[in-house]
Amino acid sequence: MERSDHYRSVKQQLRRQLASQRPEVDQCEALSRRIWERVFALAAFLPARTVMTYLDFRSEVRTLAFLPEIWKQGKKIVVPYCAGRDLGLFLLESPDELAPGTWGILEPRPELRAAAGKRAGPESIDLALVPGVAFDSRGGRLGRGKGFYDRFLPQLCPDALKIGLAFESQLAWEIPMQPQDVRMDLVITEAGVYPAVPS
């Protein structure tokens, strides 16, 4: 088996294993609040002017409910959407600008995406909140396998902080990483903040 095939096989096994360990939906709200308390307490969160966040889907760490607090702090919010094989970026100013899109995930309404001042570039992002199926304590990330974030994350400025949001049950001992994979700077769960350390 080639090395790349081995990585794919291990990742598929991890996805199946960890899918069964996600918290029940009724637990997600309380656990997400504890995670966000840690996010808001980060020293690096205060000076961030533009925050990119995913919009939660199914049993992911909740984000939508916490957007008002980010706006309250005077920050801009950028959200991603599927644009072919890549992620587009949209400057979100109200939840009313969202509608279910690809796979039922909330996205900016298509008719608003080309409006003046609504497009955003990766270079504008100071702090990115990133979803994942699983993470490890060194910042390794396992996505859903479509590669959207794998293609997007290298476009961020080198000093943009990349934070994985996850429930503690999504932590794996080690995520197999290939040279092109991008590690998170931090992984935050309801139980703690995990700094990524050099390989």
Q: What is the mean pLDDT of each run of 10 residues along the chain (199 residues)?
A: 57 64 75 97 96 93 97 97 93 97 88 95 97 93 85 95 95 85 94 75
Per-residue pLDDT, 178: 80
User: Which CATH number goes with the domain that contains 38?
Assistant: 3.40.50.10420
Q: What is the phi/psi pair of residue 27, to 5°?
A: -90, -20
Q: How far is Cα 40 from Cα 60, in angstroms, rounded to an integer?
A: 18
Q: Which helix (H) or strand (E) segment is 46 a member of? A: none
Q: What is the DSSP secondary structure assignment for residue 133, as one 8-state letter?
A: S
Distances (CA, A) of 71 to 54, 64, 77, 94, 167: 15, 12, 7, 10, 24
Nearest CA to 124 out of 147, 93, 95, 90 is that of: 90
3-class secondary-structure state, position 24: coil
Full residue range of the structural domain in which residue 154 is found: 3-195
Q: How far is Cα 88 from Cα 65, in angstroms, rounded to an integer?
A: 22
Per residue in 58-94, is it b (16+ CB within 10 Å) or e — as a string? ebbbbbbebbeebeeeebbbbbbbeeeeebbbbbbee
Per-residue pLDDT, 177: 83
Per-residue pLDDT, 1: 46
Which amino acid, one-letter code, is at 76? Answer: K
Q: How far is Cα 166 from Cα 135, in angstroms, rounded to an integer?
A: 8
Which amino acid, one-letter code, is at 35? Answer: I
Collect all residues with Cβ–Cβ distance below 8 Å to 196 and sequence separation of at least 6: 138, 139, 183, 184, 185, 186, 187
Number of domains in the chain: 1
